[in-house]
Amino acid sequence: MRLIDLAVRQALRSRCRYRVGALIVAGNRVLAWSPNIPRNSPTVDYSHATFHAEEAVLRRVQNASGAVAYIARVNRSGETLLARPCPRCQQALAAAGVAKARYTTGPMTTDIMSFY
């Protein structure tokens, strides 16, 4: 299984309006994984306030130096969509020492972003 497919599986687990999943990989080892997570109580518009998947996965990893982040977004049908990290998540990934991020850009396509 490709690593981006594991990020897609995390996105499918999301309960948010925009379903995004991420994982951090160092070498051949998956260090952490997470979908985006609702931030508020379910009674307070939880579909729009989330911890981004990139933020959530960085909270679970101790050392991401030199690692690669895989990020995927899916629609209701499970098709992959554009999942380019937002500027805040790009800063968080770079600050954590992540070297690259591979993200989905559409059905069956990906792109890479370098932080060095």
Q: Domain range spanning residue 48?
A: 3-114
pLDDT-above-70 percentage for the chain: 91
In this prediction, residue 113 carries a pLDDT of 96
Average pLDDT, the chain: 91
Residue 99's pLDDT band, with cuts at 50, 70 and 90, is very high
The predicted model gives 32-55 an average pLDDT of 79
Which CATH number covers residue 71? 3.40.140.10
> Cβ distance 60 to 32 under 8 Å?
yes
* Domain count within the chain: 1
Token readout for 87 is 């500027």
Distance CA 37, CA 14 (A): 7
Token readout for 40 is 């508020």
Residue 116's pLDDT band, with cuts at 50, 70 and 90, is confident
Q: Please count the CA atoms within 13 angstroms of the CA of 98 that sit on its side-chain side.
A: 31
pTM for the structure as a whole: 0.91
